[in-house]
């Protein structure tokens, strides 16, 4: 079951690069958030009520509902439909993300550490690297926030891989922190859209002396 | 629970002025906060090495840096008055500015005293949010661009740092409050897998490099400082950099007790030297004073990282350099506010003939310039000398010579640009009738530059003890 979920998760990564539509990217983030909840729920054998509430908040509520809805609102406000500006063509990006997944798989299995769950580590690594690649390859700043969210999903999987559990208060602080950061980034994207008329990084180059 | 009370009162003060339009209430809140901050520094010193509010500890480094912030906040709040009166007509926005400064300073105190790696991470993210809104306070397109770049790169760095924290928690996580405390991590550092330790170190240092204005994430910080209002720069070029240093130093104190210590030292040395080379080259292209001073901060932080890469032999010099640089750069940025008010511009080509036009201020600028570029008898000369001496004594002679060459280049370029300001031709577009001069404004800078000299040559005993204690506590 877990393997199937992780494979589906890896497939969402490839879909990010197959699609040109911004709405699909946001939907894929929601799918990843839901998958993360199911994966975490199955993976945690012994869990207290607080822990369950926290995971529910972080994955289903924040990652699968709040952030996608917020991003969709920004998308509609700024009339963003298709991505036209990329540094690398889509076809090559699909090949590169596939290579990243394969390389992450081999890297994870080459790490011999009893405290690390290799199957989670492989997908976590590919998600983090895939997210970084997604950010770099797009010129549109809206997709940069999508890239950060993918990397954060990878970080969540990594926390499952290493079995890291933070105290409740600290976890809450981390969750609120991430949420606030994403909301503020979203607000700034909105402002850039209205101030510069577009969301391309090429219009953000006035500060160089 | 002193810190918890400090956070609660600070939050209340920040909220009380956030939408307030009354000038006297705003500055009363700022004064109360300043006093509160000083009280915290004194309390922390009295309770040295005591734990507080579960996740915090009053250790020597935290006390030094928090005390420094307490000192810096006084002139910063003083100059914020001038800034708000001159550039921010909206009374509501004035309150918001002070509120954000209070939030930023409180988050910085949290970083300085935190004994938990995640609390440092959370506090650094709070500083990102506060600094972003402070950069964007004047609401023009360049400010938006700078704020966006700072926010985005910082957020990216923070995510990388979080991944680093996760890797560090592989063996040590047991879901107890102390599990990710620095004290605990230092004690179990030998149990952490070296591969994970190295990966965590790289990710955390990369993530926090934006806060310390060093390679690799420095560009967003430099852009932010180019645009940010001068009182904000007086904090981001000093106390925020110190926050970045604390985050990296605490991590270094974990890795320095393991077999990966030599590797970590090399990484820090490479980062420091790369930062120094990049800033020396970039400095030739600057056209704005604020950008020049931003690169100057990068130079000093690079020196601090190089000193840290030497371990114990360089640590005393690194801390002394951090202290003196904070005071000097606060003064320089506060003076930059006066230059901007006088020429109604921050561009170097819009300035000139400062010495003749505004003699007293020009002399103060010259004093600040000598202090910041470590020209003897500047206090920073002492700390730079100590860093170079440590490099020679540890066998890094070639590195030391390269640093001397690079520092000479930096000094030449900064003096070249400053000569345009001091003795260059007065620009044709200069409007004498609109130039703002306040004869009391340079006073704070004279005190700050004097403090740099005093602390370097007549370091008080208790500060020496605190610095020595930081060195002794390193693994």
Which mean pLDDT values do the consecutive 10-residue runs of chain A (209 residues) have? 92 91 94 93 76 85 93 89 76 93 93 84 95 91 91 90 71 78 86 81 77
Beta bridge partners of B442: none
Of the candidates A167, A177, A195, the beta carbon closest to that of B141 is on A195
Tell me whether B220 touches chain A (CB under 8 Å): no
What are the chain B neighbours of A111 within 8 Å (beta carbons)? 195
Closest CA to B37 of B16, B65, B60: B65
Q: Domain range for residue B296? A: 274-475
Q: Domain range for residue A85? A: 2-194
Q: How far is CA B292 from the centre of its chain?
A: 15
Of the candidates A162, A184, A196, the beta carbon closest to that of B132 is on A184
**Distance from the B296 Cα atom to the nearest Cα atom in chain A, whole angstroms:** 16
Of the candidates B132, B147, B171, the beta carbon closest to that of A115 is on B171
DSSP letter, residue A57: I
pLDDT score of B388 more than 60: yes
Distance between CA atoms of B438 and B341, rounded to whole angstroms?
Answer: 10
What are the chain B neighbours of A162 within 8 Å (beta carbons)? 166-167, 169-170, 173
pTM recorded for the entire structure = 0.95
| Contact map slice: A 72-91 vs B, CB within 8 A | none
What are the chain B neighbours of A141 within 8 Å (beta carbons)? 148, 152
| Neighbouring residues of B387: CB distance < 8 A, sequence distance ≥ 6 | B303, B306, B307, B314, B317, B318, B321
Of the candidates B129, B170, B223, the beta carbon closest to that of A116 is on B170
Distance between CA atoms of B265 and B272, rounded to whole angstroms?
Answer: 10
B108-144 confidence digits (pLDDT tens):
999 999 999 999 999 999 999 999 999 999 888 899 9
Tell me whether A155 touches chain B (CB under 8 Å): yes
> Residue with structure tokens 């204690």?
B469
Q: Are A158 and B149 inside 8 Å of each other by CB?
A: no
Tell me whether B283 touches chain A (CB under 8 Å): no
Coarse DSSP helix, strand, coil percentages of chain A, rounded to the nearest 5 percent: 80, 5, 20
Q: Are B144 and A192 inside 8 Å of each other by CB?
A: yes
Q: Are B141 and A177 inside 8 Å of each other by CB?
A: no
Rounded to the nearest 10°, the torsion over CA B150, B154, B155, B156 is: 110
Tell me whether A65 touches chain B (CB under 8 Å): no
| Contact map slice: A 24-63 vs B, CB within 8 A | none
Q: Are A191 and B146 inside 8 Å of each other by CB?
A: no
pLDDT of residue A167: 66
Q: Are B132 and A115 inside 8 Å of each other by CB?
A: no
Of all residues in chain B, the percent with pLDDT exceeding 70 is 98
pLDDT of residue B178: 53
Q: Is the ipTM of this complex over 0.90?
A: yes
Contact (CB, 8 A) for B238 and B211: no
Residue B197 lies in a domain: no
Task: Choose the mutation target among A166, A171, A183, A192 for the interface with B, i.e. most B CBs under 10 Å.
Answer: A166
- What's the number of domains chain A is made of? 1
Q: Are B226 and A209 inside 8 Å of each other by CB?
A: yes
Classify burial at B136, counting beta carbons within 10 Å of its beta carbon; exposed 0-12, middle 13-18, buried 19 or more: buried
A55-96 confidence digits (pLDDT tens):
888 889 999 999 999 999 999 988 887 766 777 888 899 999
Of the candidates B122, B145, B175, the beta carbon closest to that of A167 is on B175
Residue A208 lies in a domain: no
- What's the number of domains chain B is made of? 1
Q: What are the DSSP calls for A114-146, one per residue?
A: TTS-HHHHHHHHHHHHHHHHHHHHB-BHHHHHH
Of the candidates B122, B170, B226, the beta carbon closest to that of A177 is on B122
Tell me whether A204 touches chain B (CB under 8 Å): yes
Task: Choose the mutation target among B103, B119, B128, B152 for the interface with A, i.e. most A CBs under 10 Å.
Answer: B152
| Contact map slice: B 423-462 vs A, CB within 8 A | none
Give the residue, A89 or B10, on which the prediction is more confident: B10
Residue B7 lies in a domain: no
pLDDT of residue B419: 95
Closest CA to B243 of B213, B211, B271: B211
Average pLDDT estimate for B186-202: 90
Average pLDDT estimate for B274-288: 96
Of the candidates A164, A177, A204, the beta carbon closest to that of B145 is on A204
Distance between CA atoms of B121 and A178, rounded to whole angstroms?
Answer: 11
The answer to whether the Cα torsion of B416, B417, B422, B423 is positive or negative is: positive
Task: Choose the mutation target among A51, A168, A179, A181 for the interface with B, i.e. most B CBs under 10 Å.
Answer: A181
Tell me whether A151 touches chain B (CB under 8 Å): yes
Q: If you average pLDDT over every residue of chain B, what do you get? A: 94
**Distance from the A92 Cα atom to the nearest Cα atom in chain B, whole angstroms:** 24
Of the candidates B155, B226, B286, the beta carbon closest to that of A185 is on B155
Contact (CB, 8 A) for B428 and B412: no
Which pair of tokens denotes residue B62? 């935290």
Please state, as a whole number, how many other Cβ atoms lie within 10 Å of the Cβ of residue A134: 23
DSSP letter, residue B427: P
B314-324 confidence digits (pLDDT tens):
999 999 999 99
| Neighbouring residues of A117: CB distance < 8 A, sequence distance ≥ 6 | A160, A161, A162, A163
Task: Choose the mutation target among B163, B227, B292 for the interface with A, i.e. most A CBs under 10 Å.
Answer: B163
**If you measure CA to CA, which chain A residue comes closest to B220?**
A207
Residue B102 lies in a domain: no
Average pLDDT estimate for B43-48: 97
pLDDT score of B175 more than 50: no
B350-383 confidence digits (pLDDT tens):
999 999 999 999 999 999 999 999 999 999 999 9
Distance between CA atoms of B36 and A60, rounded to whole angstroms?
Answer: 41
> Residue with structure tokens 């933070």?
A166
- Alpha carbon separation from B315 to B58, B215, B305, B406, B438 (Å, rounded): 19, 20, 9, 21, 40
The answer to whether the Cα torsion of B421, B423, B429, B432 is positive or negative is: positive
Of all residues in chain A, the percent with pLDDT exceeding 90 is 44
Most confidently predicted of A137-141, B23-27, B60-64, B254-258 = B60-64
Tell me whether A66 touches chain B (CB under 8 Å): no
Residue A15 lies in a domain: yes
Residue B462 lies in a domain: yes
Residue A202 lies in a domain: no
What are the chain B neighbours of A129 within 8 Å (beta carbons)? none
**If you measure CA to CA, which chain B residue comes closest to A163?**
B170
Q: Are B156 and A148 inside 8 Å of each other by CB?
A: yes
Query: pLDDT band at residue B18, thresholds of 50, 70 and 90?
Result: very high
pLDDT of residue B163: 92
Please state, as a whole number, how many other Cβ atoms lie within 10 Å of the Cβ of residue A136: 11
In B7-136, DSSP assigns E strands to 51-52, 56-57
């Amino acid at each position: 079951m877990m393997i199937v979920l992780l494979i589906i998760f890896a497939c969402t990564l490839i879909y990010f690069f197959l699609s040109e539509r911004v709405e699909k990217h946001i939907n894929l983030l929601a799918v990843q958030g839901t998958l993360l909840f199911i994966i975490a729920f199955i993976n945690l054998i012994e869990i207290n009520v607080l822990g369950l509430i926290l995971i529910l908040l972080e994955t289903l509520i924040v990652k699968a509902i709040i952030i996608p809805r917020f991003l969709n609102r920004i998308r509609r406000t700024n009339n963003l439909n298709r991505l036209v500006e990329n540094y690398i063509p889509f076809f090559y990006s699909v090949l590169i993300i596939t290579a990243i997944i394969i390389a992450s798989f081999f890297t994870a299995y080459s790490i011999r550490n009893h405290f690390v769950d290799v199957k989670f580590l492989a997908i976590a690594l590919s998600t983090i690297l895939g997210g970084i690649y997604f950010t770099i390859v797009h010129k549109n700043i809206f997709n940069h926030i999508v890239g950060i969210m993918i990397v954060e999903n990878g970080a969540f999987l990594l926390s499952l891989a290493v079995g890291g559990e933070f105290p409740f208060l600290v976890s809450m602080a981390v969750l609120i922190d991430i949420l606030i950061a994403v909301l503020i980034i979203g607000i700034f994207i909105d402002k850039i859209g209205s101030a510069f008329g577009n969301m391309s990084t090429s219009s953000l180059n006035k500060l160089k002396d | 629970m002193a810190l918890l009370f400090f956070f609660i009162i600070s939050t209340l003060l920040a909220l009380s002025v956030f939408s307030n339009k009354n000038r006297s209430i705003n500055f009363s809140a700022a004064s109360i906060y300043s006093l509160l901050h000083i009280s915290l520094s004194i309390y922390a010193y009295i309770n040295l090495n005591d734990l507080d509010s579960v996740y915090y500890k009053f250790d020597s480094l935290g006390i030094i840096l928090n005390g420094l912030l307490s000192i810096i906040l006084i002139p910063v709040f003083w100059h914020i008055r001038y800034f708000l009166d001159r550039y921010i007509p909206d009374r509501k926005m004035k309150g918001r500015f002070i509120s954000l400064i209070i939030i930023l300073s409180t988050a910085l105190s949290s970083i300085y005293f935190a004994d938990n790696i995640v609390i440092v991470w959370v506090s650094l993210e709070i500083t990102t949010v506060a600094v972003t809104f402070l950069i964007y306070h004047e609401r023009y397109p360049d400010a938006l661009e700078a704020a966006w770049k700072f926010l985005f790169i910082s957020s990216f760095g923070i995510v990388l740092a979080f991944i680093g924290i996760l890797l560090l928690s592989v063996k040590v996580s047991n879901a107890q409050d102390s599990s990710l405390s620095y004290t605990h991590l230092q004690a179990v550092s030998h149990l952490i897998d070296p591969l994970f330790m190295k990966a965590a170190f790289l990710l955390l240092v990369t993530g926090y490099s934006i806060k310390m204005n060093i390679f690799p994430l420095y560009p967003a910080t430099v852009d932010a400082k180019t645009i940010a209002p001068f009182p904000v720069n007086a904090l981001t070029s000093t106390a925020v950099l110190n926050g970045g240093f604390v985050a990296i130093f605490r991590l270094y104190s974990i890795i320095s007790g393991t077999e990966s210590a030599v590797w970590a030292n090399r990484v820090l040395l490479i980062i420091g030297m790369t930062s120094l080379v990049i800033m020396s080259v970039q400095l030739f292209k600057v056209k704005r004073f604020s950008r020049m001073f931003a690169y100057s901060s990068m130079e000093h932080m690079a020196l601090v990282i190089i000193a840290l890469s030497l371990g114990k032999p360089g640590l005393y010099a690194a801390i002394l350099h951090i202290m003196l640089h904070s005071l000097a750069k606060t003064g320089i940025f506060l003076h930059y506010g006066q230059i901007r008010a006088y020429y109604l511009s921050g561009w170097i080509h819009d300035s000139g003939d400062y010495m003749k036009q505004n003699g007293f201020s020009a002399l103060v600028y010259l004093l600040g310039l000598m202090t910041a570029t470590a020209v003897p008898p500047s206090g920073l000369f002492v700390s730079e000398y100590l860093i170079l001496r440590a490099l020679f004594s540890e066998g890094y002679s070639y590195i030391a010579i390269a640093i001397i060459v690079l520092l000479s280049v930096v000094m030449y370029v900064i003096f070249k640009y400053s000569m345009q300001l001091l003795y260059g031709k007065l620009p044709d577009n200069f409007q004498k009738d609109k130039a703002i001069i306040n004869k009391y404004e340079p006073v704070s800078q004279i005190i700050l530059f004097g403090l740099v000299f005093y602390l370097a040559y007549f370091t008080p005993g208790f500060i020496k003890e605190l610095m020595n204690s930081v060195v002794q506590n390193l693994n």
